[in-house]
Amino acid sequence: MSRAPWIVAVVAVIALPVAAGLAALLATKPEPPRVPPVVRIGEAPGPPPSGVSPAPSPSPSPQVQLPPPPPIDDDDDDGPGDRDDDG
Residue 84: per-residue pLDDT: 58
pLDDT at 35: 81
pLDDT digits (tens, 9 = 90+) for 10-64: 999 999 999 999 998 888 877 888 887 777 777 666 665 565 555 666 666 778 8
pLDDT of residue 85 exceeding 70, the answer is no
3-state secondary structure the chain: CCCHHHHHHHHHHHHHHHHHHHHHHHHCCCCCCCCCCCCCCCCCCCCCCCCCCCCCCCCCCCCCCCCCCCCCCCCCCCCCCCCCCCC
Predicted TM-score (pTM) of this structure: 0.32
